[in-house]
Amino acid sequence: MKLAFICRLALAVIFSAAGIMKLRDIKGFAYDLHLFGLTPWTLSKSLAFFLPGFEIVAGVALFIPALRLGGVFAVMAMSAAFSFAISSAWARGLDISCGCFGHSQSPSNYPLHLTATLVMLAASCWLISREVREGTVKFQ
């Protein structure tokens, strides 16, 4: 198997699974988002309804040739945003659940979650650079 396929598959499984698990408890996920202290309650609720579907669509898009680059950019943007949110919560000493795979009562393991999001960010950046190198995408 090619490394790019493995990266896309891993990212697709992670993001799709995370989205599906969040759909099981949207209210709990909204609460988890709000505890990060980065958004007002109304925006936290809106993000909780939007984000799971976006994660699932981005994961699926990684395997549809016409949508693949958009899927990779979406995964990259979400990974960057998640890295920022986790870093911010960790720096402020918050003892919260990340909500990564749905609502949970357990506090976050910040080093583990930050490492995971940074690996996903690096993988998506590598996939984009690979697409550009192979000529699949041309920036003008």
Report if residue 112 sits inside a domain.
yes
Report how far residue 57's alpha carbon sits from residue 106's, in angstroms, rounded to the nearest whole number: 27
Report if residue 69 sits inside a domain.
yes
Report if residue 54 sits inside a domain.
yes
**Mean of the pLDDT values across residues 76-80?**
97
Domain containing 70 equals 3-130
Report if residue 140 sits inside a domain.
no
Report if residue 136 sits inside a domain.
no
User: How many separate domains does the chain show?
Assistant: 1
Q: Which of 2, 20, 3 is nearest to 123 (CA)?
A: 3
Report if residue 62 sits inside a domain.
yes
Tokens of 72: 């990779």
Q: Residue 111: which residues within 8 A CB-CB, separation 6 or more?
A: none
pLDDT 10s digits, 12-54: 999 999 999 999 999 999 999 999 999 999 999 999 999 999 9
Instruction: Reduce the DSSP state of residue 102 to 3 states and report it.
Output: strand
138, pLDDT greater than 60: no
Report if residue 137 sits inside a domain.
no
Number of Cβ atoms within 10 Å of the Cβ of 81:
14
Alpha helices by DSSP H, listed for the chain, are 3-23, 26-35, 41-61, 68-91, 110-133
Report if residue 14 sits inside a domain.
yes
Please tell me the predicted confidence (pLDDT) of residue 100: 78
pLDDT 10s digits, 114-126: 999 999 999 999 9
